[in-house]
Structure 1
Amino acid sequence: MSTALLNETLGSLATRIPGATRILREQRLDFCCGGAQSLQQACEQRGIDATLVAEQLLHLQQQPGANSNWELTPTPQLIEHILERYHARHREQLPELIRLANRVEHVHTRNPDCPHGLAALLDEIYGELEHHMCKEERILFPMFNQGVAASVLVGGPIAVMRHEHDQHGEALEQLAELTHDIQPPPGACNTWRALYRGLREFRDDLIQHIHLENTVLFVRS
């Protein structure tokens, strides 16, 4: 029953039910850094009908193939997926987004909807994220691949990574504020629209990336 999902954490729902992240993201429920909250608690904080969200999730859960999840993937393969799907992808995304943002800010500087400061924010995000990913690649991931349990790392490297994940989440909030939740204004040019499409993709990828590490990798025994 959908009511059984109300006490489950957002992180668990996002990990266990394929497609759940889309629904949670549409409702602006933070399954990433706020993944320890129950669905009921998170919905109450946002003034959302938790039962309706649970019914949507139950419908997804009942779809064919809904039993597959990353919790069953061996750690080396999970890390390889994170490196290829997210680390490499962020390094492709951000330089181009910075270029597009600079272009939009230059051409449309007199437009009241112009996202002034966006390029600088993206450049800061890129620098922080690159530093973060390098620490994972050089320190944390090799330790996982050597068989070190998360319980041994939780007070050190994992605590640092979680804190930085929270900072990445705060940066995404700044991004949303600067861009009207990444919605281009009426009449926006193709470059502006391409920039915002890329920003939405980057945001979704980063949220999934953080969720996968916080909720799956960082809790492995």
Structure 2
Amino acid sequence: MNSVAVLPLLEQSLGQLATSIAGATAIFHQYKLDFCCGGKQSLADALAKKQLDPAAVLSELQHLQQQDNSFTDWRAKPVKELIAYILERFHERHRRQLPELIRLARRVEHVHAGDPQCPTGLTDHLDDMYQELESHMMKEEQILFPMLAGGIYPSGPISVMEEEHLQHGDALEVLDKLTNNITLPADACNTWTALYLGLKELKEDLMQHILLENEILFVQPKAIAKDDDRQMCCGSCQ
């Protein structure tokens, strides 16, 4: 393997790779590499923490790079277009996903209460996730997104949203613990199977949602804010 070719991949952050290589997120899911809330860490650091051999991951990423995939580079798109995509692809989808998952979880917990593999407490946890996520999305829709669409980049609200993203990441970790990493028992019924299939979709969607905001939508505002700060400082020093 050509070390010169793979070195840039190892040095890039998980977030950079996830937003520039089509299909990279599926690989990161496979190896349980956190590319949303943990998206700032380099691939090399993330692999080292998991004690994973870089060769396999690098090989898969390089294979994806060689494929002719249609991939939307949201860094090159207008802010308003990205916001519209997030609202339709994630906000509305989460609002459809969670109520049904709560219903399925309640049914599974009721019917399989005596099963040692039953995800006891999952219904309450999903309900908490739904309430927290709904509050978060409403703040984005009513406050932050209109400001970004209007060319206003407020560091305070962005920091609040990033902190809440970390909390969503913690909620996903609890979800994994309650469901044995969303692993179905061998004799799972159709309702249990549908529930875990939906949970996997929710997890992947939420991680992708957070990734786009943390690594793309919120990055430009930070850069502009820093430029404004420097200009104000230079102006006051003259």
User: For the superposition of Structure 1 and Structure 2, which TM-score range results when normalised by the shorter chain?
Assistant: over 0.9
Cα deviation for residue 68 of structure 1 reads: 4.2
- Find the counterpart in structure 2 of residue 83 from structure 1: 87
- Residues 56-76 of structure 1: CA deviation (Å, up to 9, x unaligned): 111111111466421111111
- Residues 23-71 of structure 1: CA deviation (Å, up to 9, x unaligned): 0111111110111111001100110112321221111111114664211
Aligned equivalents of 1:186, 1:133: Cα separation in 2: 36
Alignment of 1:59-138 (within 5 A): 59-65=63-69, 68-138=72-142
Cα deviation for residue 86 of structure 1 reads: 0.2
2:21 paired residue among 17, 21, 27: 17
Structure 1: give runs of 5+ residues left out of the alignment: none
TM-score (norm 2): 0.89
- Find the counterpart in structure 2 of residue 140 from structure 1: 144
Aligned equivalents of 1:67, 1:109: Cα separation in 2: 44
Query: Is 1:187 the counterpart of 2:187 in the alignment?
Result: yes
Contact 1:24–1:30 (CA<8 Å) still a contact in 2? yes
Contact 1:6–1:51 (CA<8 Å) still a contact in 2? no
- Find the counterpart in structure 1 of residue 46 from structure 2: 42
Query: Is 1:5 the counterpart of 2:18 in the alignment?
Result: no
Aligned equivalents of 1:63, 1:32: Cα separation in 2: 24
TM-align CA RMSD: 1.1
SS at match of 2:218: helix
Aligned equivalents of 2:210, 2:72: Cα separation in 1: 19
**Letter paired with 1:172:** L
Query: Is 1:203 the counterpart of 2:203 in the alignment?
Result: yes
Larger Rg: 2
- Residues 135-188 of structure 1: CA deviation (Å, up to 9, x unaligned): 000000000000123xxx23x001100100000000000000000101110111
Aligned equivalents of 1:217, 1:6: Cα separation in 2: 24
- After superposition, the Cα gap between the structure-2 partners of 1:183 and 1:67, relative to the gap in structure 1 and judged at 3 Å, is closer
Identity %: 55
Query: Is 1:218 the counterpart of 2:221 in the alignment?
Result: no
Contact 1:118–1:178 (CA<8 Å) still a contact in 2? yes
Aligned equivalents of 1:200, 1:71: Cα separation in 2: 27
Cα deviation for residue 94 of structure 1 reads: 0.3
Contact 1:17–1:66 (CA<8 Å) still a contact in 2? no
- Find the counterpart in structure 2 of residue 166 from structure 1: 166
- After superposition, the Cα gap between the structure-2 partners of 1:138 and 1:22, relative to the gap in structure 1 and judged at 3 Å, is same
**Letter paired with 2:27:** I
Contact 1:2–1:51 (CA<8 Å) still a contact in 2? no
**Letter paired with 2:138:** C
The aligned length equals: 217
Aligned equivalents of 2:36, 2:14: Cα separation in 1: 8
Q: Following TM superposition, where does structure 1 have runs of at least 4 consecutive aligned residues deviating by more than 3 angstroms?
A: 65-68
TM-score (norm 1): 0.95
Aligned equivalents of 2:89, 2:164: Cα separation in 1: 19
